[in-house]
Structure 1
Amino acid sequence: MKKDTIILFLLLLANSLFAQSEWPVFRGNRQLTGAIHATLPDQLKLLTSFQTGDDIKASPVVKGALVYCGSTDGFFYAFNLNGQLKWKFDAENSIEAPAILLDGKVIFGSLDGWLFCLNQTDGTLVWKYKTDNQIIGSANWNNMDGKTVLAVGSYDYFLHGVDLAAGKNLWKYESDNFINGAPALYKNTVVFGGCDGFLHLVDLKTGRLTKKIELSTYVASSPAIVGNEAYIGDYEGQLFAVDLEAGKIKWTYNNPDKNLPFIASPAVSGDFIVLGNEDRNLYCFNRLNGKPVWNKRLSNRINSSSVIVGDKIITATMDGMIYMHRLKTGEELWRYEIGSQIASSPAVCAGKVIIGANDGRIYIFGSLP
């Protein structure tokens, strides 16, 4: 085996192990692809759950065998994979935004517009930053000239650039409507879809717009980025592939017989894009041309964003069902009924699936010894 081949293999193995051991950001990585190179058994079992005081709409993140997630009861929780509380923090308002775990800190937004930064070890407040309306989407970040810059959207129409070290504003970029989803990282820019119907590319260092690409109508979800292409759905049930370098739409999927929203964000792995719709269908598309590969009608609307784990897909529905399907064929492998609405998106870590529901519980599934 050639030296370059060995190095590539070791890098891929390291990435695979890294992906299995933590899920530190919404959708698993800063490109928001919602996919990891890992394995799950064909059948999962409920291992434990953690109870909070109200609905779970935020998506959990995981690191160091600890789960971090906010609740609409106004508290942010850290607990271990056995369901035992480590600490909780009172944010004094509902939390629907997923957190990010970065440099020993936990960063998340709340519905009264605060962006909080806590110590990951004990939940003590490091700083908080105020926007002028609710924060529902996750933040994202990159290092810019030795400074870690956070980008987070708010319903005040602004994407905010915040210094991680100090919690101070660096810049604000104004869109033309609410920002609901999370920005994805592309090189030194962040990419987000707004309720103004545009895909925005904003320089993370300066906050200046580099490109603004018209899509169609409201975009409630977050983009997934692979290479120089972004994939994102809109409120009229269209899915777009956008060439970020050219600033042009490469292809569009549109089903005029449905015309129901894509609230969920796409998951992308290899040549496949997987995305659930409010029409109750789970769709798999060819990433190269946008042609449907298969679709499966599930039990209810799909607002939760699916996750691709190796050759399997985990999807949750608004009537409280969790499904596992085969990626290439759509074959159903497993299902589990929680019985309470699920808008939270799953995290997958160390062979476990972690997801919240509107009964206030965060559920942990895996395989028993």
Structure 2
Amino acid sequence: MNKSFIVIILSLFLITSSSSVFAQLEKNTTISAFQDRVFNNDPKYKPLGNQKWAFKTNGKIFSSPIVQNGIVYIGSEDGFLYAIEEQSGKLHWKFKTGGAVHSSPVIFKNLVYIGSFDGNYYAIDTKNGHLKWKFKTGGENWFGEKGSLGMKPLDMYMDDLWDFFLSSPVINLEEENPSLFFGSSDGNVYALNALTGELKWTFKANGSIHCSPVLYKNSLYIGSWDANLYAIDAETGKERWRFETGRKSGFTGIQSTVAVANDMVYFGARDPFFFAVNAETGKLVWKYNAASSWILSSAVVVNNVVYVGTSDSYLLLGLDAKTGTELFKFKANGYIYSSPAIAGKTAYFGDFTGNFFALNIESSGKEWNSFSTENRKLFAPGILNNDLLDFRYAAKGSNISLYSNNKKVMDEFYKLGPIVSSPFVANNTVYFGSADGNCYAIELQK
């Protein structure tokens, strides 16, 4: 989404109505793309070094990688979950689903869990890629509606062009009866037996759920396209409270996965604010005005600072966790839908132009370096405006009140290799996926 796009569509007519990610458990005993985004406490700023390898899939990558025991796991729009050797970048095994894999994996007890647009959530043996069990939801799909964002024709159903992800699972670590939780496009939150796939309970929201649940003190926190953040009892599936965000035309829905720290729940929405609410009561503590930018990136909280990305303003923000006061901001070249990973003094994140950044978080946004996808290097001169994403510029004078023309602009942007996948840091290397179909491994400078 681009601010100028929203302004133009608003001026033309109506507006109505993308995803996100990170479950932070109290104990970091599973491996998850959306679990704890703090990877180490290295006292040095560690810029990006050389590319170690790139593994090519046959589809866009929106899934975020995880690394365990020398293997990188990541999903692709080509329908496969890939297990890639961490050192060589060679294929270890791959598992075929019946649809695009926009969910991100979680590993527990030699099983890797993933969701697919075929409507199934899968448990797969990490040793050989064989299916352990699968569970069928009521169906998975891109969020959409008639005349989305006021685009024409107003009576045509349109997939939302900024809805990238499916919900990624989280595990409740009970030794004898572990639970697997995830949301679904059918509006349900599901609780399954993580070892058998047997259904325990469901919770029904009033809209699709594409962000991932967070488990904290026996409560699940998860948002929905219905604009509500829900707190759900993890044992019973009963609602504890809900917090409603704005429902303004064009600015409705929650795609960001929450972060929880110090009994506070932090999350962004399309409405467009970033919120801090009390984890026990659901009462608002503070909110940050993102100035007409959707917040689809999921936050990380480190040393009482909240790090989160924005869409239209292209910012990585550092906010005071207690007050919401802006401490610093760093401007990238395009939308920041990738959720940051924090390793010591360094924040790692990508943007929608195919740039991936390493930012010294103690430099007030002044010390950083970046890596560009090969596609960005090739196509940026013809797509970007002074190296910045610009929806109106990329439209080249076409009528962007039409959905078909908006889709053409997004397809142009996809040529750049946008990075909406969120990074994982392991063994002095950072891993992330790109819409150019590659999973990248970039060494860090020592």
Query: What is the TM-score normalised by the length of structure 1?
Result: 0.89
* Residue 88 in structure 1 maps to residue 91 in structure 2: no
User: Who is 1:134 aligned against?
Assistant: 140
Equivalent in 51, 54, 59 of residue 59 of structure 2:
54
User: Who is 1:278 aligned against?
Assistant: 311
User: Who is 1:299 aligned against?
Assistant: 333
Give the superposition deviation at 1:284. 1.1
Counterpart of 2:120 in structure 1: which amino acid? W
Q: Deviations over 1:242-272 (max 9, x none)?
A: 10112201101114xx312011111211111
* Residue 64 in structure 1 maps to residue 99 in structure 2: no
* Residue 260 in structure 1 maps to residue 293 in structure 2: yes
Q: Distance in 1 between matches of 2:196 and 2:207?
A: 28
Give the superposition deviation at 1:112. 2.0
User: Who is 1:35 aligned against?
Assistant: 38
Name the stretch that deviates more: 44-53 or 113-122: 44-53
* Residue 240 in structure 1 maps to residue 275 in structure 2: yes
Q: Secondary structure at the match of 2:254?
A: coil
Counterpart of 1:311 in structure 2: which amino acid? K
Q: Map 1:316-335 onto structure 2 (within 5 A).
A: 316-328=350-362, 329-335=364-370
User: Who is 1:5 aligned against?
Assistant: none
User: Who is 1:25 aligned against?
Assistant: 32
In structure 2, relative to structure 1, the CA distance for the partners of 1:23 and 1:295 (3 Å cut) is farther
In structure 2, relative to structure 1, the CA distance for the partners of 1:326 and 1:237 (3 Å cut) is farther
> Are the counterparts in 2 of residues 149 and 205 from structure 1 also a CA contact under 8 Å?
no
What's the C-alpha RMSD, in Å, of the aligned pairs? 1.8
Q: Secondary structure at the match of 2:31?
A: coil
In structure 2, relative to structure 1, the CA distance for the partners of 1:275 and 1:368 (3 Å cut) is closer
> Are the counterparts in 1 of residues 241 and 281 from structure 2 also a CA contact under 8 Å?
no
Q: Distance in 1 between matches of 2:126 and 2:207?
A: 33
Q: Map 1:196-215 onto structure 2 (within 5 A).
A: 196-215=226-245
Q: Distance in 2 between matches of 1:145 and 1:301?
A: 41
Q: Distance in 1 between matches of 2:255 and 2:360?
A: 27
Q: Distance in 2 between matches of 1:202 and 1:26?
A: 22
Q: Distance in 2 between matches of 1:211 and 1:322?
A: 37
> Are the counterparts in 1 of residues 46 and 346 from structure 2 also a CA contact under 8 Å?
no
User: Who is 1:315 aligned against?
Assistant: 349
User: Who is 2:286 aligned against?
Assistant: 251
Higher share of residues assigned strand? 1
User: Who is 1:230 aligned against?
Assistant: 265
> Are the counterparts in 2 of residues 323 and 332 from structure 1 also a CA contact under 8 Å?
no
Counterpart of 2:131 in structure 1: which amino acid? L
In structure 2, relative to structure 1, the CA distance for the partners of 1:127 and 1:23 (3 Å cut) is closer
Determine which structure has greater relative contact order: mean sequence separation of CA pairs < 8 Å that are 6+ residues apart, divided by chain length: 2
User: Who is 1:219 aligned against?
Assistant: 254
In structure 2, relative to structure 1, the CA distance for the partners of 1:274 and 1:336 (3 Å cut) is same
Structure with larger Rg: 2
In structure 2, relative to structure 1, the CA distance for the partners of 1:92 and 1:145 (3 Å cut) is closer
Query: What is the TM-score normalised by the length of structure 2?
Result: 0.74
Q: Secondary structure at the match of 1:155?
A: coil
* Residue 354 in structure 1 maps to residue 431 in structure 2: yes
User: Who is 2:111 aligned against?
Assistant: 105
Give the superposition deviation at 1:145. 7.7
Q: Secondary structure at the match of 1:89?
A: strand
Q: Secondary structure at the match of 1:44?
A: strand
Q: Distance in 2 between matches of 1:252 and 1:36?
A: 27
Give the superposition deviation at 1:133. 2.0
Q: Deviations over 1:158-199 (max 9, x none)?
A: 000111121111110000101110001111121111111111
* Residue 75 in structure 1 maps to residue 80 in structure 2: yes
Counterpart of 1:72 in structure 2: which amino acid? E
Give the superposition deviation at 1:44. 2.1
> Are the counterparts in 1 of residues 359 and 369 from structure 2 also a CA contact under 8 Å?
yes
User: Who is 2:177 aligned against?
Assistant: 147
Name the stretch that deviates more: 221-230 or 326-335: 326-335
> Are the counterparts in 2 of residues 27 and 35 from structure 1 also a CA contact under 8 Å?
no
Q: Percent identity?
A: 26
Give the superposition deviation at 1:368. 7.0
> Are the counterparts in 2 of residues 28 and 347 from structure 1 also a CA contact under 8 Å?
no
* Residue 336 in structure 1 maps to residue 371 in structure 2: yes
Give the superposition deviation at 1:144. 4.6
In structure 2, relative to structure 1, the CA distance for the partners of 1:23 and 1:148 (3 Å cut) is closer
Equivalent in 182, 187, 194 of residue 164 of structure 1:
194
Q: Unpaired segments of 5 or more residues in structure 1? A: 1-17
Q: Distance in 1 between matches of 2:368 and 2:61?
A: 26
Count matched residues: 344
Q: Secondary structure at the match of 2:178?
A: strand
Give the superposition deviation at 1:334. 1.0
Name the stretch that deviates more: 285-294 or 141-150: 141-150
Q: Secondary structure at the match of 1:50?
A: strand
